[in-house]
Amino acid sequence: MSLYNSTSYDPETKENITKIINKYIKKEKANYNLESKEYDMLVLEKDLQERYRKDKSNGSSGTYFSFPEIKNVLDCVADVLTYFKDTHYKTDNRMRWKIDQTINTIKNASQETVCTDIMADRCPPEDTISTVRSASDKGFFNVKSENVIFRHGKEYSGYNVYETPYKGNQYPYSYCIRVLVQALSTIDLINIELKSKKDGDMWGTQYASAYFSERYHYYLDYLLDNAPNVFLLPILQNIGATTLIRHRYSRIQPCGIIFDEAFVDEDLQTPSNFFWHDLNHARRIYQNNIWYSKQPEQREQPEQREQHKIPLDKLYSVMRKDVSELMPIKGWLSPENMKYESLIKILLFEVVHEDALPFTKDSIMTDILFASGNCYPYERTYDNPEKDSKYSRVNLRFYEQGASTLRTIYNKIRHAFFEKEHTNDIVVKKELRYIKHLTEAAYLLLNKVAPDKYNADTKPAICELLKGLLKDRRFQAHNAKRLEGIESDSDDCEGCEGCEGCEGCEGCEGCEGCEGKSGDSSKNDHKNNKGIRIKRHTKPRVSIKRLKKDAASAAAR
């Protein structure tokens, strides 16, 4: 989901490739429009599972089932590459060679095997098949009656030495995804080169770095091999947060295919990086599903917890039920609270997509109440420095202390994360990006998923807890650049222990006009950027642990 409208190309090129892409998006939406409320991802999921089982029963690995859904994407990629070849690289033989090689792999993805029903001692008559050099030659099907050509699927020659790969399936799933990945690398090459001509040399910049592919290429075959519990669905259509939330119950993970730069996760991404970014989301979502299914059932008392593993099928069933109860959001909000729909949506998006947790009521409740300083799973990839290991890598997995979920969301919607410079009401309305509104939205969501705990009786204590989680700056991130049009939040100042030497100063939005550490630590006040002296806050920071205890006591009552 990218909302930043920028381009790597000159206006004419941008216009021409957009026409090509839109033609194929129209075709794609005719088959499956993921943004449509009527579209049920479960129908395609069941179809893919059945194809997998059929392929497996035929003695194949199961992951090379016919996947014609990818044809439209591959055709689009090939058309765009052909456009570049015929316009920008008319005389550049090296790039024309590279593009031709890429298009040839795409052609192989659709390969159909045609064979004659022959035995080793029965060759076709002279001047029939052996002289045909092109499938457009009418002699291609000019074979004597005793050597009729059969297409696989109707009748198959079992007497030929050469076995047909993938049982003759066209557009074999795993193979086609790998072909697409290779093609996107060529798109990247063209994109960065043309962006360099337009904006200056980009090759040594962050934009040209293979940040996501460098880290997550390793997981491509892992995900392909874990069908039928997870399927990758490359798509051309742009889908938003609501669609990703609504389809979180599915085994199908959409991966966006783009042909221009896009602002995602605080930075511009190339087309290939964008795909790997989505693939990593798919990987984390799938692995969180597995992790959740292995955990003991959550009960109030430890002695009541049953050590069991919930089957993945049951987990997906639970998620479908919980999605149906919470989506659409406006279906359960009262008229006076309808303005909080976009905030609740972004809360759910953070839980089930960004944090990749299953769409279950207990996951939502737990993640909303995740406090700063708690740990979450993290990993880093390093080049191996050991001798004779120059071209090997080490993946370090550990648990990292992080900011509260609510503080993370607060920073994301107020800073350049979803948007690059300016606010866009598509994400969250500008006037709602403040602690008081996030507090209310979080309470409404908790009240919906667990009304026995979070209700009118416990609301004061719960809201105090939520506000404390939102104001806690410890371990915070995503606060480097505040979006234009976002004003200072007076609630974010409450409990601030001052500017000079404060651990929360880095990136702290503080009071309106506050210059942070430039204040005089010897005084109990400081100047803002208008030269007005402001009283320094002396109220001690509220303990999150104490707030949680108070909230738990209120819920128990």
Which runs of consecutive H residues, i.e. helices, occur in 88-236?
93-109, 173-199, 211-216, 220-225
Residue 74 near residue 27 (C-beta atoms within 8 A): no
> Strand pairing of 262-264 and 267-269?
antiparallel
CA atoms within 13 A on the CB side of 37: 3
**Percent of the chain predicted with pLDDT > 90:** 64
pLDDT exceeds 80 at position 349: yes
Phi, psi of 174, rounded to the nearest 5 degrees: -60, -45
Q: How far, in Å, CA of 257 to CA of 20, rounded?
A: 14
Residue 343's pLDDT band (cuts 50, 70, 90): very high
pLDDT tens readout for residues 108-163: 998 877 766 556 666 666 666 667 777 777 666 655 444 455 554 445 556 677 77
Binned at pLDDT 50, 70 and 90, residue 390 comes out as confident
With CA atoms as reference, report the closest residue to 248 among 354, 344, 333, 174. Answer: 354
Q: Whose CA is closest to 519, among 538, 541, 535?
A: 535
Least confident range from 101-105, 156-160, 269-273, 445-449: namely 156-160
Q: Are 460 and 555 in contact (CB under 8 A)?
A: no
Between 215 and 367, name the one with better pLDDT.
367
pLDDT category of residue 338 using cuts at 50, 70 and 90: very high
- Residues 6+ positions from 151 with CB-CB distance below 8 Å: 112, 114
Question: Does the pLDDT at position 422 exceed 50?
Answer: yes
Count of Cβ atoms closer than 10 Å to residue 45 Cβ? 19
Q: Which amino acid would we find at residue 210? A: A
Cβ proximity of 297 and 306 under 8 Å: yes
Residue range 515-549, pLDDT digits in tens: 333 333 332 333 333 233 333 333 334 455 555 55
Count CB neighbours of 528 within 10 A: 16
Note the pLDDT of residue 61: 87
| 285 pLDDT tier (thresholds 50, 70, 90) | very high
CB under 8 A, 24+ apart: contacts of 310-319: 312/229, 315/289, 315/358, 315/360, 316/249, 316/250, 316/251, 316/289, 318/358, 318/360, 319/248, 319/249, 319/358, 319/359, 319/360
Task: Name the helix (H) or strand (E) containing 399.
Answer: strand 393-401
With CA atoms as reference, report the closest residue to 253 among 44, 514, 508, 37. 44
- Rounded to whole angstroms, how far apart are CA atoms 346 and 337? 15
**Which residues partner with 527 through β-bridges?**
533
Quick one: 356 exposed, middle or buried, by C-beta within 10 A (0-12, 13-18, 19+)? Answer: buried
CA distance 96 to 42: 42
CA 17 to chain centroid, in Å, comes to: 24
Q: Which of 338, 500, 340, 508 is nearest to 432 (CA)?
A: 340
Q: How confident is the model at residue 298 (pLDDT cuts 50, 70, 90)?
A: low
> Which residues, 6+ apart, have CB-to-CB distance to 246 below 8 Å?
323, 327
Check pLDDT > 70 for residue 467.
Answer: yes
d(CA 189, CA 203): 10
**Cβ contact 42:251 at 8 Å:** no
Q: Which residue has the higher pLDDT, 294 or 357?
A: 357
Cα–Cα distance, 251 to 285 (Å, whole number) = 10
Q: Which phi-psi region, left, alpha or beta, contains residue 459 (left: φ > 0; alpha: ψ -120 to 50)?
A: alpha
Euclidean distance between CA atoms 384 and 397, whole angstroms? 15
- 412: nearest Cα among 346, 338, 319: 346
Residue 495: pLDDT above 90? no
- The neighbouring-strand residues paired with 151 are 114
Q: How far apart are CA 358 and CA 316, in angstroms?
A: 9
CA nearest to 414, candidates 365, 487, 352, 357: 487
Whether this prediction's pTM lies above 0.95 is answered by: no
DSSP-assigned letter for residue 541: P
Mean predicted lDDT score pLDDT of the chain = 84
pLDDT at 418 over 70: yes
Instruction: Kindly give, in sequence order, each residue whose CB lies less than 8 Å from that of residue 281, ignoring residues fewer than 6 positions away.
Output: 253, 353, 356
Structure tokens, 390: 């120059």
| Band (340; pLDDT cuts 50, 70, 90) | very high
- Supply the pLDDT for residue 125: 64
* Paired tokens of 494: 């409450």
* pLDDT, tens digit (0-9, with 9 covering 90-100), for 194-224: 999 999 999 999 999 888 888 899 899 999 9
Strongest mean pLDDT among 138-147, 379-388, 496-505:
379-388
The H or E element containing residue 56 is: helix 41-57
- In this prediction, residue 330 has a pLDDT band, given cuts at 50, 70 and 90, of very high
